[in-house]
A and B are shown apart, each in its own frame.
Chain A
Amino acid sequence: MNYKKTFRFYLALWLAKLSSFALKILKRNATYFPGKVALSICPDFMGRLDKPKTIIGVTGTNGKTTTCNMINDILSQNGFDFINNKYGSNIDGGIATTLISGSTITGKAKKDLAVLELDERSSNKIFPYVTPTYLVCTNLFRDSLMRNAHTEFISNILNKYIPKETIMIENADDIICSHIAEGNKKIYFSIDRLETDTEECRNIIRDGKLCPKCLTPIKYEYVRYHHIGKAYCPNCDYKCPKPDYHITNLDLKNMQMTLKFKDGEEVYDIINDNIINIYNMLAAIVVLKQLKLTQKQINDSFGKLKIVETRYTEESYKNYKIVTQLSKGMNPIACSMAFNYTRNEKGNKAVIVVLDDIHEEAKGMENTSWHYDTDYELLNDESIKQIILPGPRYMDSYIRCLMADIPREKMVHKKDIIEATSELKLDGIDKIFILHDLYAIEQAKQIKQKVKEIIDEYENK
């Protein structure tokens, strides 16, 4: 649709810019409100605003923020001048705010490039007005059932609203994500079979169990986790696509990976050994290669990156390693992957799980059902010597752990986070994992401080 700049558009733009200026003077975040102002005055504002010539969008259930952060940091380090929503919201108001910040007073785009993290649930409010040149879809899993319902619902929204002109960059190992926007031009990425892959799914949930074409149960050459792997329908042609870019040699010992593509092979250093972050790196590399960055440019920049502290930290404290890891509440896959990472880490571990999703209650609703889609069974492992379950969800998590056959004597469950953490036992422990929700970062910091105090006391005995 050909949108024109009307008086209402200019009014929306100027008031948005004014509100952004005022918020900055007041030292408040101007990452959502200005865009919201513009959209409330002119609902199709984003359609009327001039946009950068090249727009990179990143959507999907998990890994959007990390992938975007990687792309943003590498582009910045290589001198690219672009706009992004790194510090802003990924829904319509946030996207509008970012575009406004990158526009002149007459609504012209100041930059030629934008990198936008896009909430998949908000596609209906963004894609009618913003056409990404490339759109990465990292994966599609079940997320908050209150907001995102189920993968079929999210797939339907994406299929309905993604513009036909957009070139999709999709995860070929995800049979749901790789079939989004079927008519569009596509670039697929994949990680070849790994030693840790299995014949059967070991997780308690797996979406896309039946072929959508013929209702035959989907089979797998191998399963990595949940529905990620090499899937195919034994009765028709529905299957995971052949990748354009794939990792052929994932060498976690030397923290390197080999990327194979039509024109050659390249080796990259790995910045984090979590498979989720390796997928995120892969998605970022594929995007950056479309922007003609060289292997050297990308890899040199990777060497300077680390996963942001709200998502993952590790600190050696006296004789112990303390790890904090985001386990996004309401998101059973993210939590299961965090549990799996914890389980697979070497050494004996104590795990403090503070999945405090109770912030939803403040919005008038909560739903604890997702705990039963989350693989607490992964915490039932010989190497995990103690599990501490603090916070308002202590009973929900405790019962879920009982359902996972975790022995009662291994667990501490108490509402008060400090009181619960006080019961940490360090005998024979090498590592302490604090798995926390995005909204429990402050609690995680308090827990970490308490853990250090306990270590101090223990070491001074």
Chain B
Amino acid sequence: MKIEILYPEFCDINSDMGNVRYLKKCLPEAEFIETSINDVPAFIGEEEISLVYMGTLSEHSQEIVIQKLKPYKEKIEEAIEKNQLFLFTGNSVEVLGKYIEDEERKIEALGIFDVYAKRDMLHRHNSYFLGKYEDIAILGYKSQFTMLYGDNSNGYFATVDLGIGINEKSKLEGIRKNNFLATYIIGPILILNPLFTKKLLSLMGVKEPKLAFEEEVLESYNIKLKKFKTFTNFEK
């Protein structure tokens, strides 16, 4: 089994690499391919990749990544159509949208998804998130300068019970198309959400997935879930 990490030298600004370290614990036999910014992504070629992961980027890094991925736009679209499994966290999905607005500038992105992002570097949005991916409760934290706009009603990562969706008015979080999954939740989402992680491992082809420190992460998940639900009641 091969797992590809896109641009780890850029995409570790919000502790997102905790996800990769956890996957290494859960899948000690798996091969992890770290694709640097000057390399061609492995999933673009003929390699069979079980999961392609990309974490949060700085604003400048987003622009570099857009330029690096542009030549592969059609290959990426093709991979999504062929059910290649992707997990993009934080603002990384923005590189696949139409464009990113930054004050007067409009940064053209890959245009794979019919959404666009607006940056507001003077206001950082921080919030709790609680919602549902299919029937699994997802929890986590968001910290971001951007909001995403567009219609994701036909393809979202999770419904929202607490916090925001792709923008402050949206109650649908992230983007989903086939096995392409993207969420603005940052940090170690896979450690915080053991039930989702099991689901992800199943999608990767792991039979009867078993998590590292399963008992402890489940206990922590249940404590957090209980706490986040009290915030939901408060929000209502």
Residues in chain A within 8 A of chain B (CB atoms): 142, 145-147, 149-150, 152-153, 204-205, 207, 209-210, 215, 217, 332, 365-373, 395-396, 398-399, 402-403
Residues on A with C-beta less than 8 A from B121 are: 153
Residues on B with C-beta less than 8 A from A373 are: 15, 18
Given A146-B143, A149-B124, A365-B126, is A372 in contact with B213 using a C-beta cutoff of 8 Å? no
Chain A: minimal CB distance from B151 (Å):
28
Report which of B59, B212, B216 forms a contact with A398, defined as CB distance below 8 A: B216
Chain B: minimal CB distance from A366 (Å):
7
Residues on B with C-beta less than 8 A from A209 are: 9-10
Residues on B with C-beta less than 8 A from A204 are: 17, 21
Residues on B with C-beta less than 8 A from A145 are: 13-15, 143, 186
Given A146-B124, A150-B58, is A367 in contact with B220 using a C-beta cutoff of 8 Å? no
Q: Are A399 and B216 in contact (CB under 8 A)?
A: yes
Q: Give A132 to B126 CA distance when docked, in angstroms.
A: 32
Q: Give A365 to B121 CA distance when docked, in angstroms.
A: 19
Q: Are A369 and B9 in contact (CB under 8 A)?
A: no
Q: Give A217 to B121 CA distance when docked, in angstroms.
A: 27
Q: Give A402 to B18 CA distance when docked, in angstroms.
A: 13
- Least CB separation from B25: chain A residue: A403
Given A146-B126, A149-B124, is A369 in contact with B12 using a C-beta cutoff of 8 Å? no
Q: Give A25 to B204 CA distance when docked, in angstroms.
A: 67
Q: Are B13 and A142 in contact (CB under 8 A)?
A: yes
Q: Are B60 and A152 in contact (CB under 8 A)?
A: yes
Chain A: minimal CB distance from B125 (Å):
10
Q: Are A368 and B187 in contact (CB under 8 A)?
A: yes
Q: Are A369 and B188 in contact (CB under 8 A)?
A: yes
Q: Are B213 and A369 in contact (CB under 8 A)?
A: no
Total inter-chain residue pairs, C-beta < 8 Å: 93
Residues on B with C-beta less than 8 A from A217 are: 9, 36
- Least CB separation from A408: chain B residue: B216
Q: Are A369 and B13 in contact (CB under 8 A)?
A: no
Given A217-B36, A372-B187, A399-B216, is A367 in contact with B126 using a C-beta cutoff of 8 Å? yes
Q: Are A365 and B217 in contact (CB under 8 A)?
A: no
**Residue interface mask B133-150, A partner, CB < 8 A = 1:** 000000001010100000
What are 21 sample pairs from A and B whose C-beta atoms fall under 8 A apart?
A142-B13, A145-B15, A145-B143, A147-B124, A150-B13, A152-B61, A204-B17, A204-B21, A209-B10, A210-B9, A210-B37, A215-B37, A365-B127, A365-B128, A366-B128, A369-B186, A370-B15, A372-B17, A372-B21, A395-B220, A399-B220
Q: Are A403 and B186 in contact (CB under 8 A)?
A: no
B64 proximal to A (CB < 8 A):
yes
Given A217-B9, A403-B22, is A149 in contact with B15 using a C-beta cutoff of 8 Å? no
Q: Are A402 and B213 in contact (CB under 8 A)?
A: yes
Q: Are B58 and A367 in contact (CB under 8 A)?
A: no
Residues on B with C-beta less than 8 A from A366 are: 128, 141
Q: Are A403 and B141 in contact (CB under 8 A)?
A: no
Residues on A with C-beta less than 8 A from B14 are: 145, 150, 369
Question: Which of A146, A207, A369 has most B Cβ within 10 Å?
Answer: A369
Q: Are A215 and B38 in contact (CB under 8 A)?
A: yes
- Least CB separation from A212: chain B residue: B60
B120 proximal to A (CB < 8 A):
no
